[in-house]
Amino acid sequence: MRNNVISFLAMLLAFVLIAGAGFHWTVNRVYVPEGQSLMLRYKGPLVFGARDYAKTGHWAEEGEIGILAKLRGPGRHFYWPIWWERTLVDDVVVKPGEVGLVTCKLGDDLPSREFLVEGDIGNTKHKGILRKVLHPGRYRINPYGYGVQVVKILQEDSGKGNKYSGWVEIPTGYVGVVTNMADNRATGAKAGVQSNVLPPGIYPTNGREQQIDIVEVGYRHMTIQATKLRDASGKLIVDDEGEPQITNDLTGIEFPSSDGFEIQMDFTAVWGLMPDQAPHAIRTIGNVEAVEKKIVAPQVDSICRNNGSKYKAVELLVGTDREKFQESIVEQFQRVLKEKEITLLYGLVRHIYIPREVRKPIQTAFIADELKLTREQEQLTAKEEGTLKQAEKQVSLEKRRVEVDTIRLVAAKKAEGNRKAEGIRAETERLSAAIIKETAELLAQAAEIKGEAENRGKQMVEEAKAERFKLAVDAFGSPEAYNNWIFATGLPDDIKLNLIYAGQGTLWTDVNKADGSFGIRATMPLDPGKK
């Protein structure tokens, strides 16, 4: 019975464990795929425990009822749905060419006179729009606390020109003039148009913090000119003097001369804004088109009118007075633009249209004067041609003289060179003979020295031999001893001596006993190679 109870309890325990694991892996399990995150809201205890709520407008802390700030990333998570509200949220994706404007929904209200929230996502203390924007990328952001508006380019018409924010791209040849919408305590920048411009590039910009005017820098030209008459084929209509005919719509710069004639004029100005001048133009005038329309064109018209009315019609047609008119206009125009921080590169009076009744007599007189000058110049030309021909003959004569002098100098130089060459050759032969003679003398001296050296060597050898014999004789004590030693050293090494004793009167008999020898007999080996 006891074993049955134990088996039942074990089976019950195994069932509970399996049921708990199945409940945990089916009911509690939440799978978060890639590109999403899990937002959690704690509902509080089911029966027991205190129900503490998070502070209004703030994240829930540990144990408080409310939404947690931290999101859970992709993967498996286990939260009991009775206690937790589980919500899948998508990641915020900011593509290239876009920026993300972030609004913080939680925190305290901003202090007075502040409009932007400092800090990054997850590290803010106030509600409102964040100063920093999101650059291209993927972001895990809790939508309960932060809202993100993904934008490309925000364009706003300020009345003076277009202002840009968001993904602002400044092309080459342009600069960006920045207008701060609010003060920046971190950098110390104040609200308003900034003096420093942005060079060409890409700038992710928060439109609530900054707006950018894209300003073209460099030079551009502007021309004010009268409308010319043309025929049906488009060919320019001119009068008898070749002067173009203009319409009566006063499209050029029109002013009365000091003697009461109506004058029209064409004028071209090459002007521009430099990078350091762009902020002043945006601050006081507007965009580049407004600068041309409100400053450059009116100043050209005003300056030309005021200066042109000081001259008579004939003074504007020819002579130095027209040059003075041109110079005075350009000088005054440049001074006015410089005061307004605009650069003038060049100003040109292109054409002045004088009435025909004034122009024709002046041109006729001018042509007569020019013809007179032409005739005078022709006479001067003929005179100069005669002078030129005379000079050419003189040049030809001088050329021939130079050729003759050159030939003479060449011959003289050649003879001088030959003379020097002969002198050098004779000196070389003399020096060569002297060297040969000196060489023969040196060879004779060498032969004489060599003979003396050889004779002296032989003498020294003989003297050395004699000295050696003398030393040997002195060493043996007498010449006889030395001779005996020489004799002894000349005997063979294997010589044999026989001693025979002979009595008185028995020498010959004893000699016969000694095989024909007597006295001392030396026997030597029968070796034909030895003596």
Q: Are residues 231 and 341 in the same domain?
A: yes
Specify if 529 maps to a domain: no
Q: Are residues 224 and 348 in the same domain?
A: yes
**Residue span of the structural domain in which 441 resides:** 365-479
Q: How many domains does the chain have?
A: 5
Q: Is residue 412 over pLDDT 90?
A: no
Specify if 120 maps to a domain: yes
pLDDT tens by residue, 293-341: 999 999 998 999 898 898 888 788 776 888 888 889 999 999 999 999 9
Work out whether the CA dihedral 343, 195, 202, 104 comes out positive or negative: negative
Q: Do 285 and 295 contact (CB within 8 A), yes or no?
A: yes
Q: Are residues 331 and 384 in the same domain?
A: no
Between residues 172 and 9, the one the model is more confident about: 172
pLDDT tens by residue, 113-126: 788 988 889 888 89
Q: Are residues 211 and 288 in the same domain?
A: no
* CA gap 64, 79 in Å, rounded: 16
Q: Are residues 49 and 125 in the same domain?
A: no
Q: Are residues 281 and 386 in the same domain?
A: no
Instruction: Report, as an integer, the average pLDDT of 407-435.
Output: 87
The CATH number given to whatever domain includes residue 258 is 3.30.479.30
Say which range, 57-71, 209-223, 288-302, 464-478, has the weakest mean pLDDT. 464-478
Residue among 362, 349, 360 nearest 322 (CA): 349
Specify if 282 maps to a domain: yes
Phi, then psi, of 411 in degrees rounded to 5: -65, -45
pLDDT tens by residue, 207-248: 888 899 999 999 998 999 888 888 888 888 877 667 788 877
**pLDDT at residue 363, as a whole number:** 65
* CA gap 495, 487 in Å, rounded: 13
Specify if 486 maps to a domain: no
Beta-carbon contacts of 23 under 8 Å, excluding residues fewer than 6 positions away, are none
**Residue given tokens 């609200």 in the structure block:** 191
Instruction: Report, as an integer, the average pLDDT of 156-162.
Output: 75
* CA gap 292, 301 in Å, rounded: 12
Work out whether the CA dihedral 281, 282, 287, 290 comes out positive or negative: negative
Amino acid at 98: E
Q: Do 282 and 341 contact (CB within 8 A), yes or no?
A: no
**pLDDT at residue 506, as a whole number:** 58
Q: What does the block give as tokens for 398?
A: 């001088």
Q: Is residue 49 over pLDDT 70?
A: no
Residue 365's H or E segment, with its range, is: helix 356-476
Work out whether the CA dihedral 190, 193, 199, 202 comes out positive or negative: positive
Residue ending a domain, among 184, 216, 248, is 216
pLDDT tens by residue, 84-139: 889 999 999 999 999 999 999 988 888 887 889 888 898 888 999 999 999 999 99
Residue ending a domain, among 334, 354, 374, is 354
Strands 116-117, 128-130: pairing is parallel
Q: Is residue 271 over pLDDT 90?
A: yes
Q: Are residues 312 and 344 in the same domain?
A: yes
Q: What does the block give as tokens for 242?
A: 């070749």
* CA gap 107, 110 in Å, rounded: 9
Q: Is residue 451 over pLDDT 70?
A: yes
Looking at the DSSP bridge assignments, the partners of residue 93 are 138
**pLDDT at residue 130, as a whole number:** 92
Q: Are residues 223 and 349 in the same domain?
A: yes
Work out whether the CA dihedral 187, 191, 193, 195 comes out positive or negative: negative
Specify if 7 maps to a domain: yes
Q: pLDDT-derived band of residue 156, with 50, 70 and 90 as boundaries?
A: confident
Q: What is the dihedral of CA 285, 286, 292, 298, to 10 degrees?
A: -30
pLDDT tens by residue, 350-383: 888 887 777 677 667 666 667 778 878 888 888 8
Q: Are residues 209 and 222 in the same domain?
A: no
Specify if 320 maps to a domain: yes
Q: Do 99 and 135 contact (CB within 8 A), yes or no?
A: yes
DSSP code, position 131: S
Q: Are residues 78 and 127 in the same domain?
A: no
Instruction: Report, as an integer, the average pLDDT of 272-281.
Output: 93
Say which range, 16-20, 169-173, 267-271, 331-335, has the weakest mean pLDDT. 16-20
Specify if 128 maps to a domain: yes
* Three-state DSSP class for residue 307: helix
Percent of the chain exceeding pLDDT 90 equals: 24
Q: Is residue 280 over pLDDT 90?
A: yes
DSSP code, position 375: H
**pLDDT at residue 376, as a whole number:** 80
**pLDDT at residue 34, as a whole number:** 93
Specify if 508 maps to a domain: yes
**pLDDT at residue 495, as a whole number:** 67
* Three-state DSSP class for residue 348: strand
Q: Are residues 184 and 225 in the same domain?
A: no
Q: Is residue 509 over pLDDT 70?
A: no
* Three-state DSSP class for residue 507: helix
Q: Are residues 341 and 235 in the same domain?
A: yes
Highest mean pLDDT: which of 225-229, 239-243, 250-254, 472-476?
Answer: 225-229
Q: pLDDT-derived band of residue 526, with 50, 70 and 90 as boundaries?
A: very low
Q: Locate the DSSP E strands across 302-393.
A: 343-353
Residue 400's H or E segment, with its range, is: helix 356-476
Q: Is residue 407 over pLDDT 80?
A: yes
* CA gap 172, 161 in Å, rounded: 20
If you average pLDDT over every residue of the chain, what do you get?
Answer: 83
**pLDDT at residue 529, as a whole number:** 44
Q: What does the block give as tokens for 528?
A: 């034909």
Q: pLDDT-derived band of residue 507, with 50, 70 and 90 as boundaries?
A: low
Q: Is residue 73 over pLDDT 80?
A: yes
CB atoms under 10 Å from CB of 118, counted, come to: 17
Amino acid at 244: P
